[in-house]
Structure 1
């Protein structure tokens, strides 16, 4: 199951039946529909309460495993997918729901901080979410707050959300999930940045192909030098660094979730020789592909 099949932009939410469609937060009781081989991203935040066993979680440029009861916060435009284990009888193409989910928008939070100093306490949390954050020991508390958000309306609902946000900001038992953050676009994104975001989608859908700087610059309708400047401004990385990171992340997932040979994985994710693959993998993961697989099997 290759993760480069497509990238799904989920700007709109599948809201709880009682939600106001204009609300900046939406509770999804059945979680998000997870499709195999498909990266997802969104323009706001997703707070997941994991409710089902899963094979692996692909977040940014890293692969993780979470137990039911885990709490995971994923920030804007951070590609991810949770590959949930299937009940017997489900077909390979079935869509799974494996988490309770609260979505909330980015821009209202950022603008709110301009007017309400109290909201600024959440700034560090939202910045960490750009890399993805997993919290330990908060499953029962988050489940209770989710029920409060579901049951309440108006200011009482906002109060439940604020209490949940406060508890997340106070937690010290957490870990970040991706080595590289996805930068949050500023309000009023420029036309050139919009070109870069569309090109990011293109890269994330085709990174196993022989993409070059000339190819992606042409796709963005920019010169290579202009593209390189804008790309680094938006992502914090060069095009080559970003491309290699995606390939190594997918290689990590395949090492964890399949028994394919390292050499097969090397070519499947887009590298053209094993020595180049091993060098980049070791640089980013701090161990060889074989050590990475063995380490995961011991956990």
Structure 2
């Protein structure tokens, strides 16, 4: 929803002055950070770590991948590696807020390696896979607050035990939603990643066309079954679902950037039926295109930090 790409966060900048736990914790699996607003940590960015975010104060706009939504105290979200994200408070007082949110930062690799000799840990891997799209949990804020406090107050093996228990609770929780179209799921060899990146680039360039899986597979000299298997493994989506979400994401941009009629935007992004567009938009965003424009259009905060999305687009 903006004009500049997300910045990559340098782990070496994660010092205690910014709210991170002491340097002694840096080489450990579980690290904690708490901060208020304003803070240099509040920006549109990504990194290689997983994070679990719990907002405790203020309301505002939440950006996770291609998802735009609102947040309030109790908002609990888990993000995966290389998934851009940002939370921008819109009701903070002029003097700021000393504590806005808590965050747990961790790496998947030790958990995955340990899951071979300790099979019980494999139960956590589906949760980590889902986090590649961003997960918002509902009805869990008080429980999460307790775990955040216990994790921050503990050290060494005790901290690890509480953290694994918390991941188990998140993995079993049923009331959640996935927020974003996948950006990266799993690791592929360089050739496979390059091919999928080319495919996604082609779909991006032609998403307004009458695009079919058969056409894209033929363009890349693949059978439909091979294409379907590779595409789903890399993106976590079927071709049809990916194309729909991409078109809806583009529609969101146009709803915020322009005053064009919803029906015109429907055709501009590749749908050929307004009723189908409205239904698909509702499925993906949880509201109609008109409701989305009313909720976000007048004060759609750009994920880069504080200017409106409209103004940011006009700077291109």
Instruction: Tell me whether the two structures share a fold, i.e. TM-score over 0.5.
Output: yes
Say whether the 8 Å CA contact 1:48–1:71 is kept in structure 2.
yes
TM-aligned CA distance change 1:251 to 1:23, over 3 Å: farther
Distance 2:155 2:58 in 1: 32
Q: Which residue of 1 aligns with 2:248?
A: 248
Matched residue SS, 2:121: helix
TM-aligned CA distance change 1:77 to 1:239, over 3 Å: farther
Q: Which residue of 2 aligns with 1:33?
A: 41
Q: Which residue of 1 aligns with 2:179?
A: 178
RMSD of aligned C-alpha atoms? 4.5
The within-5 A match list for 1:75-224 is 75-85=80-90, 87-89=92-94, 98-172=100-174, 174-178=175-179, 180-186=181-187, 189-193=188-192, 195=194, 211=205
TM-aligned CA distance change 1:259 to 1:9, over 3 Å: closer
CA positional deviation for 1:164? 1.7
1:128-167 deviations in Å (ceiling 9; x for gaps): 3233222233323322322332232221221221222232
Q: Which residue of 2 aligns with 1:42?
A: 47
Matched residue SS, 1:147: helix
Distance 1:70 1:236 in 2: 25
Distance 2:35 2:273 in 1: 39
Q: Which residue of 1 aligns with 2:306?
A: none
Q: Which residue of 1 aligns with 2:307?
A: none
Say whether the 8 Å CA contact 1:76–1:130 is kept in structure 2.
yes
Candidates 278, 283, 287, aligned match of 2:280: 283
1:68 equivalenced with 2:108 (yes/no): no
* TM-score (normalised: structure 2): 0.64
1:261 equivalenced with 2:259 (yes/no): yes
Say whether the 8 Å CA contact 2:281–2:289 is kept in structure 1.
no
Candidates 19, 24, 28, aligned match of 2:29: 24
List gaps (5 residues or longer) in structure 2.
208-218, 298-316
Distance 1:61 1:184 in 2: 15
Distance 2:243 2:171 in 1: 32
CA positional deviation for 1:294? 5.8
Matched residue SS, 2:179: coil
TM-aligned CA distance change 1:275 to 1:139, over 3 Å: closer
1:155-213 deviations in Å (ceiling 9; x for gaps): 122122122223223433x2213364444223xx422355479889x97xxx9xx9569
Q: Which residue of 2 aligns with 1:9?
A: 8
Matched residue SS, 1:115: coil
1:57 equivalenced with 2:62 (yes/no): yes
Matched residue SS, 2:52: strand
TM-aligned CA distance change 1:126 to 1:291, over 3 Å: same
TM-aligned CA distance change 1:22 to 1:52, over 3 Å: same
Matched residue SS, 1:27: strand
Comparing 97-106 and 227-236, the one that deviates more: 227-236
Structure number, greater radius of gyration: 2
Distance 1:76 1:157 in 2: 22
TM-aligned CA distance change 1:134 to 1:238, over 3 Å: closer
Distance 1:277 1:12 in 2: 47
TM-aligned CA distance change 1:115 to 1:138, over 3 Å: same
Matched residue SS, 2:35: coil
Matched residue SS, 1:192: helix
Matched residue SS, 1:29: strand
